[in-house]
């Protein structure tokens, strides 16, 4: 091999550890996954070789899949490699169709090494990098070594997921000052390769002598590398490094904006039946919440003079994706127009105004995109506007939905008590008729909550609560732990439990108890739930649900910490996107400057002072210039502590005292 001009490592795969909605969910084998982030299209100028080494004595194999510019798979094949074998694959060989990116999958136990080699046919020289696995939601392209001899600066970046995504770019200088930003939409498995100092990116007049880094962030896994050079004579490949945060101003958290909107789903997962012709447990009924904050030294939650609307990316209709509207009148007593939910909401609509938030209840959302692909984690775009229709703020949040309930695991034909009707749902009704003396099969479709009370649907039937009955009936029939829960709750594919506690090793039963505990008749289903304070120093008021509780400045707990079952930082990248947009990093919303404009800091709004260091020496000046009415928000209407626990009377004769 010729002497290499440059040898650098490349960042390739960004697969979230333990995130089963990644490549594995799409039906691919469990193991290691690598990304080929750049296959040149200029075949007359470049050779592109994939070098594979088997580092162990056993035979191994790998699957190579190639994608074209549109992100469509154009080639898939399995390549065996003998023990300690070596293979050099020319990606420009005639057997491979035109492609720009690739994915390599290796089964567990195999130890393979992958390198990509570029060879310039015109000027000679070789550039090489090794494919590695990387786990990070953000990429940093480093340009600190930029020199003017390199006439252009570019990058290649790949969306490694099946879903389309918006990638946000932000360039910063050595003081992490944002020099410019822009966004690009990238289809699933598609690539962007462009020159950053061109007119369609940062522009030709961009101050590259000041730029040291360009960040890219998206709600999906990315892979990429820097490519800079002088015409075609010389190319410099450098790695795009994983990053944990990006500077302010790269997305929805615009520091120049006077408003911020934060949106969330209330439960972290909403379930619905896959068929309504026989019986129904839950209809398509999703819920979206939002709060709008007017930023300032003393931020305010606003509802007056503001409208908040929502829509879903790649999902504009539920018609044809469920048979709900064929049976809604018989089940729920409502004559509903197509695409209208039980509370009158559509997939694109305006949220209802409440005293301190906006809410859309009963959104008839399904797990299917308009192109038919399954997406359990739908993305809502939420927009706040003033009375004149001007956009005040915008955000993106995950609205989860799934019909993955595996009753058929047990109730298939001849599965329980020898009942076989040809359909697991009629098997269940037939079993109910046999054991309870009912006549449900003659009265289809049946709403289970019409007889059994249900706090989820707000019904008060004459039979025991549906949750009690189902959990008691099945407590000895499914495995203990999350495997048992996933028989009925979404599910091995959906993996609805994904939040910070699950990432730390906690499962369903650690918080909710056993099936017998959940089915206990003294428990009020959907109302008697675990309290954060059961394990943490801080919790919601006794008897008050986390999803209904407020805290810091009247913000809902879920607005900062994320939805139930998806507590931030979540194992699913999309759940983290909103806070990456707002504060430049995943995790609970903790950057004071998202809402406060007076420079205050504080890592824990539950206890730490939200004021900047030295505030105690200067707060007198603040009161003199601004008054002390705003102090009541934290220190209470009587200024004796409030939510802060700090009383003005500890040092003064009241807030207006001159001592």
Angstrom distance (rounded) from CA 353 to CA 359: 7
The whole-number pLDDT of residue 562 equals 95
Is 557 within the bounds of a domain? no
Is 591 within the bounds of a domain? no
647 close to 639: Cβ distance less than 8 angstroms? yes
The whole-number pLDDT of residue 150 equals 63
411-446 pLDDT, tens digit each: 999 999 999 999 999 999 999 999 999 999 999 999
CA atoms within 13 A of residue 526's CA, in its CB half-sphere? 12
Cross-strand pairs, 129: 116
268 and 197 fall within a common domain: no
Angstrom distance (rounded) from CA 127 to CA 117: 6
Q: Report, as ranges of residue numbers, the positions in the chain whose pLDDT lies below 70.
A: 1-30, 125, 134-137, 144-152, 196-201, 203-204, 229-239, 247-257, 602-604, 606-617, 641-646, 650, 656-659
Is 560 within the bounds of a domain? no
163 and 20 fall within a common domain: yes
CB atoms within 10 A of CB 422: 7
Is 603 within the bounds of a domain? no
Helix (H/G/I), strand (E/B), else coil: 24:
helix
390 and 455 fall within a common domain: no
Single residue among 243, 272, 292 that ends a domain in this structure: 243
118-174 pLDDT, tens digit each: 887 877 767 777 887 755 668 888 876 555 556 667 788 888 888 788 888 888 887
The contacts of residue 93 (CB under 8 Å, 6+ apart) are none
Nearest to residue 137, comparing CAs of 215, 213, 221? 221
Angstrom distance (rounded) from CA 96 to CA 649: 78
In degrees, rounded to 5, the angle at the alpha carbon of residue 351 between the alpha carbons of residues 350 and 356 is 145
Nearest to residue 15, comparing CAs of 110, 150, 117, 106? 106
Place of tokens 């039946």: 273
> 3-state secondary structure string, 333-380?
CCCCCCCCCCCCCCCCEECEECCCCEEEEEECCCCECCCCCECCEEEE
Kindly report the pTM of this predicted structure.
Answer: 0.66
Angstrom distance (rounded) from CA 87 to CA 117: 13
The contacts of residue 199 (CB under 8 Å, 6+ apart) are none
- Domain span at residue 77 reads 4-243
The whole-number pLDDT of residue 194 equals 72
365 and 419 fall within a common domain: no
77 and 212 fall within a common domain: yes
Single residue among 211, 243, 275 that ends a domain in this structure: 243
The whole-number pLDDT of residue 231 equals 60
Single residue among 402, 429, 451 that ends a domain in this structure: 402
Handedness of CA 604, 608, 609, 612 (dihedral sign): negative
Nearest to residue 53, comparing CAs of 114, 1, 132? 114
The contacts of residue 555 (CB under 8 Å, 6+ apart) are 262, 291, 293, 301
396 and 416 fall within a common domain: no
Angstrom distance (rounded) from CA 182 to CA 490: 37
14 close to 134: Cβ distance less than 8 angstroms? yes
> 3-state secondary structure string, 262-279?
EEEECCCCEECCCCCCCE
Nearest to residue 220, comparing CAs of 57, 362, 26? 26
For the domain that residue 300 is a member of, what is the CATH number? 2.60.40
The whole-number pLDDT of residue 14 equals 23
| Bridge pairing between strands 126-134 and 10-14 | parallel
Phi and psi dihedrals of 379, rounded to 5?
-100, 120
19 and 165 fall within a common domain: yes
Nearest to residue 214, comparing CAs of 144, 109, 294? 144
Helix (H/G/I), strand (E/B), else coil: 26:
helix
Helix (H/G/I), strand (E/B), else coil: 561:
helix
The whole-number pLDDT of residue 642 equals 65
Element (H, E) at 79: strand 73-81
Cross-strand pairs, 166: 185
Nearest to residue 100, comparing CAs of 70, 130, 128? 70
203 and 84 fall within a common domain: yes
Cross-strand pairs, 238: 226
Q: Tokens for 519, please give them.
A: 């089915």
Mean pLDDT of the chain: 83
501 and 394 fall within a common domain: no
Domain count, the chain: 4
The contacts of residue 435 (CB under 8 Å, 6+ apart) are none
Handedness of CA 445, 450, 453, 457 (dihedral sign): positive
Is 600 within the bounds of a domain? no
For the domain that residue 36 is a member of, what is the CATH number? 2.60.290.11
Element (H, E) at 172: strand 165-173
Helix (H/G/I), strand (E/B), else coil: 581:
helix
Angstrom distance (rounded) from CA 123 to CA 145: 23
59 and 96 fall within a common domain: yes
Nearest to residue 159, comparing CAs of 215, 244, 217, 237? 217
The whole-number pLDDT of residue 326 equals 97
570 close to 579: Cβ distance less than 8 angstroms? no
441 and 512 fall within a common domain: yes
Distance from chain centroid for Cα 513: 27
Is 84 within the bounds of a domain? yes
Q: Based on the number of CB atoms within 10 Å of its own CB, is 424 exposed (0-12), middle (13-18) or buried (19 or more)?
A: buried
Is 459 within the bounds of a domain? yes
Is 31 within the bounds of a domain? yes
Cross-strand pairs, 130: 115
Angstrom distance (rounded) from CA 515 to CA 517: 5
Cα dihedral 79→84→85→89 (10° resolution) = 70
The whole-number pLDDT of residue 4 equals 26
The whole-number pLDDT of residue 429 equals 97
Cross-strand pairs, 323: none
264 and 339 fall within a common domain: yes
The whole-number pLDDT of residue 558 equals 96
CB atoms within 10 A of CB 83: 11
């Amino acid at each position: 091999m010729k002497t290499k001009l440059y040898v650098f490592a490349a960042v390739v795969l960004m697969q979230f550890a333990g995130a089963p909605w990644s490549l594995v969910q799409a039906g691919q084998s469990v193991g290691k996954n690598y990304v080929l982030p750049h296959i040149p299209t200029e075949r007359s100028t470049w050779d592109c070789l994939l070098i594979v080494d088997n580092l162990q004595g056993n035979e191994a194999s790998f699957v190579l899949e190639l994608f074209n510019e549109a992100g469509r798979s154009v080639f898939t094949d399995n390549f065996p490699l003998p023990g300690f074998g070596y293979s050099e694959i020319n990606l420009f060989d005639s057997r491979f169709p035109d492609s720009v990116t690739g994915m390599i999958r290796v089964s567990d136990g195999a130890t393979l090494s992958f390198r990509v080699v570029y060879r310039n046919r015109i000027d000679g020289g070789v550039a090489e990098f090794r494919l590695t696995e990387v786990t990070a939601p953000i990429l940093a392209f480093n340009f600190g070594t930029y020199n003017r001899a390199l006439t252009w600066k570019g990058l290649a970046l790949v969306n490694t997921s099946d879903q389309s995504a918006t990638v946000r770019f932000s360039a910063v200088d050595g003081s992490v000052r944002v020099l410019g930003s822009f966004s690009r939409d990238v289809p699933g498995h598609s690539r962007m390769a462009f020159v950053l100092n061109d007119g369609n990116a940062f522009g030709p007049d961009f101050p590259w002598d000041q730029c040291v880094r360009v960040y890219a962030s998206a709600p999906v896994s990315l892979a990429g590398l820097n490519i800079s050079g002088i015409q075609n004579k010389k190319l410099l490949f450098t790695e795009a490094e994983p990053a944990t945060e990006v500077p302010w101003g790269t997305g929805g958290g615009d520091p120049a904006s006077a408003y911020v909107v934060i949106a969330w789903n209330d439960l972290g997962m909403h379930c619905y039946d896959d068929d309504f012709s026989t019986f129904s447990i839950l209809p398509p009924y999703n819920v979206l919440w939002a709060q709008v904050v007017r930023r300032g030294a003393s931020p305010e939650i606003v509802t007056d003079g503001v409208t908040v609307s929502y829509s879903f990316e790649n999902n504009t209709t539920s018609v044809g994706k469920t048979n709900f509207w064929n049976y809604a009148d018989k089940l729920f007593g409502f004559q509903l127009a197509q695409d209208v939910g039980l509370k009158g909401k559509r997939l694109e609509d305006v949220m209802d105004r409440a005293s301190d938030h906006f809410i859309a209840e009963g959104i008839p959302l399904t797990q299917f995109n308009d192109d038919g692909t399954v997406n359990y984690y739908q993305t809502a775009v939420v927009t706040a506007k003033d009375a004149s229709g001007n956009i005040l703020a915008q955000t993106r949040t995950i609205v989860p939905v799934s019909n993955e309930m595996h009753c058929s695991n047990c109730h298939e034909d001849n599965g329980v008590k020898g009942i076989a009707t040809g359909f697991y749902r009629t098997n269940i009704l037939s079993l109910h008729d046999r054991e309870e003396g009912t006549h449900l099969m003659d009265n289809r479709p049946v709403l289970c909550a019409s007889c059994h009370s249900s706090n989820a649907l707000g019904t008060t039937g004459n039979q025991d609560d549906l949750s009690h009955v189902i959990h008691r009936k099945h407590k000895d029939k499914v495995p203990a732990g999350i495997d048992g829960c996933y028989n009925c709750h979404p599910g091995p594919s959906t993996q609805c439990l994904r939040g910070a506690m699950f990432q730390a090793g906690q499962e369903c039963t650690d918080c909710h108890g056993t099936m017998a505990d959940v089915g206990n008749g003294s428990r009020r289903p959907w109302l008697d739930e675990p309290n954060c304070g059961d394990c943490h120093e801080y919790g919601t008021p006794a008897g008050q649900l986390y999803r209904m509780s407020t805290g810091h400045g009247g913000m809902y707990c879920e607005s900062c910490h994320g939805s139930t079952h998806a507590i931030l930082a979540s194992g699913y990248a999309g759940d983290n996107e909103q806070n990456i947009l707002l504060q430049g990093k995943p995790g609970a919303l903790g950057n004071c400057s998202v809402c406060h404009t007076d420079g205050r800091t504080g890592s824990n709004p539950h206890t730490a002072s939200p004021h900047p260091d030295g505030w105690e020496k200067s707060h007198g000046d603040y009161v003199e210039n601004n008054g002390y009415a705003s102090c009541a928000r934290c220190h209470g209407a009587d200024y004796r502590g409030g939510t802060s626990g700090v009383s003005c009377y500890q040092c003064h004769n009241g807030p207006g005292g001159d001592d």
